[in-house]
Structures are given as structure tokens and as C-alpha cells.
Amino acid sequence: MILHIRGRGIAGGRAGGPLLVSPVPISFLSGVDPDSGIIVEKGHPLQGVSLAGKVLAFPYGKGSTVGSYVLYALSRNGHAPAAIINAEAEAIIATGAIIGGIPMIDRIGIPLDRLKNGSVVTVNGDLGELEYEGSPQDS
């Protein structure tokens, strides 16, 4: 069964892949290697994990506005997330998703930690929708 979870579209397009959920914000400037797509922020729960080709769900971005350009560089280098889901979008991540051509949504109405890592999902930034197979796990 595929659930259609409504949110708010931030960056248009449609893309899917395995879900990668971060319980904490991500800084793309100095927190993600733009050449590899690996999270390098010391102490981050996903340190050492590649976000390339994954649907990346995290609460919100943090850090410098240069983070937008890191998202763009990830896209140009072929190491960007396939799509982004935020609890609440902010300008740094939204701008990076738009210029990098990465579909993005936020405000999906359920806590991100209820989404199961590895689930194959699709983000439709045009409709502001998450297609989720099964049902979000119980907390």
C-alpha cells in the first residue's frame, strides 16, 4: 500500500530512493563533503554516511549561507541527495535545493523520526507530496 503524505512543496520535481533520516540538523558547509556526498561533521549521528542518491530527511539546515552552494556543488558532482524532506524548510536548504534541481518538501505533518530508514520513497516537490510504501513506523 502506498501512502500519499501531503506537505508543502519547496523545490519542484519528482525523485525517489532509499530514505536516510537524520534526527538532528545538517550543516552543508563543512558538514558534508561536496566531492563525495559523505557527511563529515564530527559527532553527527550520520557521520561517514553518504547522502548521494538518497531521500534525505532532516529537521532543518544550519550554518552558513554557503551551504546552498555546497548543495549545488553536490548536484553538479553527482553526489546530491535525490530529494530532501525537512520538518521546516529554511532559506539555506531551500535555495540549495532549487539551484541544485533537488526536489524538496517540508511540513509533512508527522515527525520525521517516524519515517523508517531504508524505505523506498518518492518526493514530489510540485505537489508537496511524499509517496511512502507501507506506513510510518510507530514511535
What pTM was computed for the model? 0.95
Give the pLDDT band of residue 64 (cuts 50, 70, 90): confident
67-84 pLDDT, tens digit each: 999 999 999 999 999 999
Classify domain 2-133 at the CATH class level: alpha beta
AA identity, residue 69: Y
Give the pLDDT band of residue 138 (cuts 50, 70, 90): very low
Given 30, 64, 119, 139, the catalytic residue? 64
64 is catalytic: yes
The domain ranges of the chain are: 2-133
Q: How far is it between the farthest Cα atoms of the chain? A: 40
Nearest to 131 by CA among 120, 116, 121: 121
The DSSP output letter for 81 is -
The rounded distance, in Å, linking the Cα atoms of 75 and 77 is 5
**Under a CB-based contact definition with an 8 Å cutoff, are residues 29 and 73 in contact?**
no
